[in-house]
């Protein structure tokens, strides 16, 4: 027999207790040497049925997991590139995550587009660097069947290029990216009514007078009597009863004014 059943009681290589111990050691190692990162599953909002792309993705959930960043000496990839579209930054790295921890915290058909594993297109937020990374490829067979199992995922990621996706996770540091970089005009709209139905363009009455945020019926005739418009008009010579021309002078001294013959 190829398998010595006196020492290996499991199906293939290693017993279940050995596999569990090995997986526990990996999780402990990730917690010691890794970093706390947030896993943000992507939700498709408006998928192009022809090209298969989603132009309006959103991220409204986040899950805190420990991950190990393999490229400890710096980012891989082509780094900074100058092309015809300007400066492009391609910084790639690899995150290692425990399969058991992912299945316990994230793996749910309600969270993932494809359940059972991390999905390409999902986002990883690393608080240490205040950076977002997009999953490009999920490697699920490395290391290759140690003790007859695959205990980790290796996520090949690159810097995420934000393009006005909705981010509503409830975590301030993560949601701030949308407030800072979004070009979605609906994020800056002004509603005409609030929840109780009162107009937001008109505030409550104060001392019997209404305070308006925007008053469309405002006209010059409704100006305050304390304004200086009349005095300025007289000094400028706009009042026919006044001879003052200190501000505007329509005589020969003014090359753009009227000339008296």
pLDDT digits (tens, 9 = 90+) for 128-147: 888 899 999 999 888 888 77
Residue 30 pLDDT: 92
Of the spans 142-146, 170-174, 242-246, which averages the highest pLDDT?
170-174
Whole-number mean pLDDT of the chain? 75
Say if pTM beats, i.e. exceeds, 0.85. Answer: no
Q: Is the pLDDT of residue 19 over 60?
A: yes
Please determine, for residue 17, whether its predicted confidence score (pLDDT) is greater than 50: yes
Q: Which pLDDT belongs to residue 207?
A: 53
17 contacts 34 by C-beta, under 8 angstroms: no
The pLDDT of residue 51 is above 90: no
Of the ranges 2-6, 140-144, 248-252, which is most confident?
140-144
- 216 vs 158, residue with greater confidence: 158
Contact 23, 16 (CB under 8 A): no
For residue 189, is pLDDT > 70? no
Residue 14 has pLDDT above 50, yes or no: yes
Helical H runs in the chain?
A: 16-33, 99-105, 172-181, 229-236
Q: What is the pLDDT of residues 20-34, one digit of tens each?
A: 888 899 999 999 999
Cα-Cα-Cα-Cα dihedral sign, residues 127, 182, 57, 157: negative
Domain parsing of the chain, residue ranges: 16-186, 191-261
Statement: residue 238 has pLDDT above 80:
no
Residue 183, pLDDT above cutoff 60: yes
Q: Which two tokens stand for residue 125?
A: 């937020």
pLDDT at residue 244, rounded to an integer:
46
Cβ-in-10-Å burial (0-12, 13-18, 19+) of 51 comes to exposed
More confident residue, 176 or 231: 176
Give the helix ranges, DSSP H, for 53-129. Answer: 99-105
């Amino acid at each position: 027999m190829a398998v010595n059943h006196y020492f290996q009681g499991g199906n293939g290589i290693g017993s279940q207790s050995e596999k569990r111990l090995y997986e526990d050691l990996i999780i402990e190692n990730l917690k010691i040497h890794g970093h706390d990162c947030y896993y943000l599953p992507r939700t498709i909002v408006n998928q192009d049925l022809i090209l298969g792309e989603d132009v309006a993705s959103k991220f409204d959930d986040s899950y805190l997991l420990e991950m190990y960043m393999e490229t400890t000496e710096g980012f891989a990839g082509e780094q900074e590139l100058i092309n015809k579209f300007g400066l492009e930054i391609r910084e790639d790295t690899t995150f290692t995550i425990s399969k058991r921890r992912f299945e316990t915290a994230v793996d749910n058909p309600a969270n993932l587009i494809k359940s059972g594993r991390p999905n390409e297109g999902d986002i990883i937020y690393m608080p240490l660097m205040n950076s977002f990374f997009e999953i490009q490829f999920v490697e699920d067979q490395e290391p290759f069947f140690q003790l007859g199992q695959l205990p980790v995922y290796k996520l090949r990621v690159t810097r995420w290029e934000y393009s006005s996706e909705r981010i509503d996770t409830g975590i301030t540091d993560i949601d701030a990216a949308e407030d800072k970089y979004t070009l979605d005009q609906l994020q800056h709209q002004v509603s005409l009514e609030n929840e109780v139905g009162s107009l937001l363009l008109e505030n409550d009455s104060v001392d019997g007078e209404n305070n308006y945020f925007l008053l469309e019926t405002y006209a010059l005739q409704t100006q305050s009597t304390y304004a200086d418009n009349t005095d300025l008009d007289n000094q400028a010579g706009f009042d026919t009863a006044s001879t003052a021309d200190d501000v505007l002078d329509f005589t020969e001294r003014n090359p753009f004014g009227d000339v008296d013959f």
